Structure 1
Amino acid sequence: MSTLLLALVAGGVIGLALGALGGGGSVLAVPALIYLLGLTPAAATTASLIIVAATSTTALYAHARDGNVAWKTGPLFAAAGIIPAHLTGAASARVPEAVLTAAFSGIAALAATAMLRTRRDRAPGSGPVPVHPARAAGAGAGLGAVTGFIGVGGGFLAVPALRTVLALPMRKVVGTSLLVITVNSLAALTARTGTGAGLDWGVIAPFTGAAILGAWDGKRLAAKISGPALQRIFAYVLLAVAAVMLADAIW
């Protein structure tokens, strides 16, 4: 299969995950860029931030238009991660690639476990859950630090965090997660300014275009399939990705 076709297929799948789940784009994009398209781990993480930032911005617009973004608490959660993402993004350039791969694998496995354990939406009429600003900011800062270090948008961690910390219904989790991903991806990218000399734009451009189109399809898919079902499917995919990348880091 040609490189262009691989980039288009992989981009479509990543966009579908982002549009449907509000996360998972970069945790799938990084291994696709490394194992299918031949990028180094360092180049793949930077490329994934570019791809996911562009795709999540597009998907965010679609979800915001339908009222599925928590604008009161989401921006606090996202803003708290900007400085940590910038700091750890700069530090990651000094970390061996095998360590980055192993860290990525471990975090993906933890995120999958959290998604499998995430509780169902609260029953209608149960009333809103009060959110302490310090908890939201603390969770957002931790997510930003992870985003910058391993070069991901953070949506695969934001989804379980938004469900447990902010207690949002699944549809608002998806939209709000896209807001968090956009902010964190852009913050992490600013820390990597000047490190993109080895990027292959012949791969990144078609990958991004296909991902943007896939995100619109994912948004429509999310309206047809229950949130818990989508979470379970994606969690098992995450576990498989984590296992492959851990094996690669060890051997």
Structure 2
Amino acid sequence: MTALVLALLAGALVGLALGSLGAGGSILAVPALVYLLGFSPAGATTASLIIVIATSLTALVAHARAGAVLWRPGLLFAAAGLLPAAAAGLLSVRIPAAALTLAFAALAVLAGLRMVRGRTPAATGGVSAKGAVSAPRAAGAGAALGAVTGFLGVGGGFLAVPALVAALAVPMSAAVGTSLLVIIANALVALAARASTEVSLDWSLIMPFIATAVLGAWDGKRLSAKVRPATLQRIFGSLLLTVAAAMATGALL
């Protein structure tokens, strides 16, 4: 199977995950870029940021049309993560490949377990995002998410959604759409921070990957209306755990 076909198939899978769950797509993108398309870990995390931005923008438009994005809380949450995202982005390309791979595998395990267990944040019962929230807690959560995005090149939707619900009282009905806004902001800053670093990117594979990921994001949104979210979470969670095990084994051998 040629690299182009693999890029198209991997992109479709990433888009489906992001569109249906609002999370998990970018965590699948990095191992696909490394093990299927031959990118270095540093190159894969950088390329993943580009893919995250493109697919998240597509999904954000769909959620915004449905009125499911709270812009002010999302931008405030994102602001706390911008500097950590930039700093982590600069640090990431200087980390040994094996260490970066192991860090990514650990994050994939965390995401996979959360999905398999079906753990979702408790609904706020319609509490307005304008209600009382903890500013330090919101700032800390935003900074942590920015650092994860910058360092590992992932959107971190599985972290952003519960953080928005718990820290800013964002209703679950708007949490996924608002998390996409946060992810885009952090990814843009992290990508800009890496612009001065010497990382080789194969655009002939990245662009087809993005194209099918964008299409997959639209299909994923429709899929989420037909298949139970818990079922989708278990499927993608099991896949993430398998990928994490393979990455950790490869890094240690």
TM-score (norm. length: structure 2)? 0.89
Cross-structure match for 1:12: 12
Question: Offset at 1:241?
Answer: 2.0
2:75 is paired with a residue whose SS is helix
Show the counterpart of 1:244.
246
Task: Give the Å deviation of 1:239.
Answer: 1.9
Deviation at 1:189, TM superposition (A): 0.2
Unaligned runs of 5+ in 2: none
| Structure 1 alignment gaps of length 5 or more | none
Distance 1:17 1:195 in 2: 30
2:119 counterpart of 1:122: no
Query: What is the aligned partner in structure 1 of residue 25 from structure 2?
Result: 25
Post-superposition shift, 1:196?
5.8
Q: Is the 8 A contact 1:20 1:221 kept in 2?
A: yes
- Residues 81 and 24 (structure 1 numbering): CA distance in 2 closer, same or farther, change over 3 Å? same
Does 1:113 find its partner at 2:109? Answer: no
Alpha-carbon spacing, 1:194–1:119, altered in 2? closer, same or farther (3 Å)? closer
Counterparts of 1:196 and 1:154, CA distance in 2:
25
Q: 1:159 to 1:242 in 2, by over 3 A?
A: farther
- 1:171 CA drift (Å): 4.0
- Whole-Å Cα distance in 1 between the matches of residues 166 and 234 of structure 2? 16
Quickly say closer, same or farther: Cα 1:51–1:76, change in 2 above 3 A: same
Partners of 1:15 and 1:145 in 2: CA distance: 23
**How much has 1:39 moved relative to structure 2?**
1.1
Aligned to 1:150: 152
**Once the 2 structures are TM-superposed, how far is the Cα of residue 94 of structure 1 from its aligned partner?**
1.5
Q: 1:234 maps to what in 2?
A: 236
Residue 51 of structure 1: aligned partner: 51
> 1:137/1:230 Cα in 2 relative to 1: closer, same or farther (>3 Å)?
farther
Corresponding residue for 1:83?
83
Q: Is the 8 A contact 1:118 1:163 kept in 2?
A: no
Q: How many angstroms apart in 2 are the aligned matches of 1:120 and 1:150? A: 23
Cα offset, 1:28, TM superposition: 0.3
1:205 maps to which residue? 207
8 Å contact from structure 1 (residues 22, 178) kept in 2: yes
Cα deviation for residue 130 of structure 1 reads: 4.1
1:248 is matched by which residue type in structure 2? G
Asked if 1 retains the 8 angstrom alpha-carbon contact of 2:124 and 2:169, the reply is no
Give the deviation of 1:197 after TM superposition: 5.1
> For 1:163 and 1:172, how far apart are their aligned partners in 2?
9
Across the aligned residues of Structure 1 and Structure 2, the Cα RMSD in angstroms comes to 2.2
Match of 1:134 among 133, 136, 140: 136
